[in-house]
C-alpha cells in the first residue's frame, strides 16, 4: 500500500492509472521559495518534504509519494517561478508572460520508504498561443486557474491555449506516469495488482 501525500484530484487520477493500491493524505508544508533557490532545487525540496511529512504521519505503508509541479519562465538568473494566482490581475500578469511564449513545467516526485528516499524531476517545455484579453477574462471566469501553478491546467479549458509540448503530458498535469512507476518498481513495490 502506498500513500499519496496530496489531495490533488489530478494526481489521484494519474496514480490510479498505475494499478497500485494507495490512499491519500493532505500534508501541510511551507511552499515559499527560499532566497537564491533555483527552480530545480525548489521543486525537489517541496516533493521530498511532502513525502517525509506523510511518512512521519503514516509509517505503516510501503512508501509515501510526494509531488510538486511548478511553472517556470526564463532561464538561469532570469528564471521566475509562477505560483498560484492571488486574483485575476495576478493571473493576467502570468498569462502575459506565457502568451506566445515557451515556458517549462517541472514536476518532482519523491518516494519515501523504510529504505530511504528517492526522487526524480521531469521537465516539459510548453508553448502557448497568443492570448487575447477576452480569452483571459473568459478563462478566469471558468474558475479553473485559481488553484493552479502558472494559473492554468493543461488538462482543462487551457488545453486550447497550448500550441505544443515537448516532454511528458502527465508531468504537466501533475504526476509523470513513467518516472513514477519506475520509482515504485525500484523500491520493490508491486504495480498492477489485481
C-alpha to C-alpha distance for 136 and 82, rounded to whole angstroms: 16
Q: Which residues are catalytic?
A: 68
C-alpha to C-alpha distance for 49 and 31, rounded to whole angstroms: 10
C-alpha to C-alpha distance for 136 and 21, rounded to whole angstroms: 39
Residues 6+ apart with CB under 8 A from 51: 5, 64, 65, 66, 110, 111, 112, 117
Amino acid at each position: 500500500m502506498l500513500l499519496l501525500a496530496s489531495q490533488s484530484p489530478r494526481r489521484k487520477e494519474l496514480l490510479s492509472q498505475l494499478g497500485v493500491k494507495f490512499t491519500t493524505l493532505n500534508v501541510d508544508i511551507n511552499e515559499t521559495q527560499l532566497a537564491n533557490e533555483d527552480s530545480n532545487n525548489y521543486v525537489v525540496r517541496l516533493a521530498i518534504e511532502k513525502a517525509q511529512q506523510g511518512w512521519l504521519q503514516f509509517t505503516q505503508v510501503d512508501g509515501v509519494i510526494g509531488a510538486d509541479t511548478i511553472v517556470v519562465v526564463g532561464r538561469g538568473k532570469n528564471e521566475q517561478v509562477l505560483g498560484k494566482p492571488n486574483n485575476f490581475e495576478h493571473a493576467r500578469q502570468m498569462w502575459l508572460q506565457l502568451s506566445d511564449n515557451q515556458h517549462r513545467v517541472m514536476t518532482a516526485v519523491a518516494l519515501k520508504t523504510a529504505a530511504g528516499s528517492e526522487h526524480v524531476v521531469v521537465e516539459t517545455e510548453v508553448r502557448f498561443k497568443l492570448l487575447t484579453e477576452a480569452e483571459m477574462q473568459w478563462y478566469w471566469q471558468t474558475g479553473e486557474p485559481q488553484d493552479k501553478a502558472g494559473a492554468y491546467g493543461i488538462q482543462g479549458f487551457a488545453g486550447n491555449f497550448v500550441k505544443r509540448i515537448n516532454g511528458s503530458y502527465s508531468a504537466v498535469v501533475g504526476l509523470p506516469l513513467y518516472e513514477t512507476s519506475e520509482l515504485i518498481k525500484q523500491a520493490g513495490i508491486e504495480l498492477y495488482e489485481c
